[in-house]
Amino acid sequence: MRVLGIDPGSETLGWGVVEGGGLKYSLVDCGVVKSSPKQPFSKRLLNIYNGVAEVVERFSPDVVSIEEAFYSANVSVAMKLGQVRGMVLLLAEQNSLDIAEYSPRLIKQTVVGYGGAEKQQVQEMVKLLLKMQKRPDPHDIADALATAICHFHHAGMLQRIKEQVGRKK
C-alpha cells in the first residue's frame, strides 16, 4: 500500500509518501507545496491543487491520509484550512483514491504516544520510524509523514477487525 499523507495549509502544505504494509513501512518521498500569502486565496488554492495533483500523478498513491479540521480561535484561518482540505478531498475523489481522515491528536498519539506532543517530538519520532538521516523540516513535512504513518497503524487494525467479523459469520 502506498499512502500520501497531507498536512493541509494555505501557505505551506506538507506532503509525504510512505509505502509498505501493516506496521512495516518506508519513506518514498516528501516535500511541501508553497504558496505566497501575497496572492489572492483563489490563486493559492490553484497552486496547491496543481502541486498535490503532480504528487498524485508522480507517486500513484492508493490512499490519501489527511488531518481532520481542528478548531481554531481564528475563524478566517479555520475557513481557509477547510477550503484547502476540501480541495484535497476533491482531488482524491477525482483520482479514485481511498481517503482516511485523522484528528491531529490521534496522529500525535499514534506516532509519539502522546496526543499533546510538540512539533519537535513529532519530527524526531518520524525521523526514527522512517529511518531518516535528519528530522523532516519544515514541520509540515513531518506532520504529513506522521499522518501517513498513522494510517498504516489504523488501517491494519481496521483490516484485522473486518477479518474477525468475517470469520464469525
7 catalytic? Reply is yes
29 catalytic? Reply is no
Q: Span 2-168: which CATH code?
A: 3.30.420.10
User: CB of 158 within 8 A of CB of 22?
Assistant: no
Convert the pLDDT of each residue in 140-159 to its tens digit: 999 999 999 999 998 866 66
* Burial (CB count within 10 angstroms: exposed 0-12, middle 13-18, buried 19+), residue 108: buried
* Catalytic-role residue among 7, 29, 62, 68: 7
118 catalytic? Reply is no
Name the stretches of the chain with pLDDT < 50. none
Q: What is the pTM of this model?
A: 0.91
* Catalytic-role residue among 57, 62, 118, 140: 140
Amino acid letter, 108: K
* Catalytic-role residue among 11, 19, 57, 67: 67
Structural domain boundaries in the chain: 2-168
